[in-house]
Amino acid sequence: MTGASAVSTITKPQMRGLLTSAIKRHLIISFTLAGISGVLWKTLVGDARKKRYAEFYRNYDAEKEFEEMRKKGIFQSC
């Protein structure tokens, strides 16, 4: 055996459809990352924000808040 078995063949470069295949690959990657980031935003930011708003309005008394602002003189017509 000479050196014929040690030499491997090189694959031909893709000459047609290179842009199309690159765009498909990048679209798949971008949609996957967008979906992951959307789910993370909802769970980390959106749910925590909903929880804080619910807690605030559970204990919020608008009449009491109005009376405090009226006593401080914020309203000119009251």
Q: State the pLDDT at residue 26.
A: 98
Q: State the pLDDT at residue 77.
A: 80
How far apart, in whole angstroms, are the C-alpha atoms of residue 78 and residue 73? 9
Residues 6+ away with beta carbon under 8 Å from 75: 69
3-state secondary structure the chain: CCCCCCCCCCCCCCCCCHHHHHHHHHHHHHHHHHHHHHHHHHHHHHHHHHHHHHHHHHCCCHHHHHHHHHHHCCCCCC
pLDDT per position in the chain (78 positions), as tens?
555 566 788 888 888 899 999 999 999 999 999 999 999 999 999 999 999 999 999 999 999 999 999 999 888 887
Q: State the pLDDT at residue 28.
A: 98
How far apart, in whole angstroms, are the C-alpha atoms of residue 11 and residue 52? 59
Q: State the pLDDT at residue 55.
A: 95
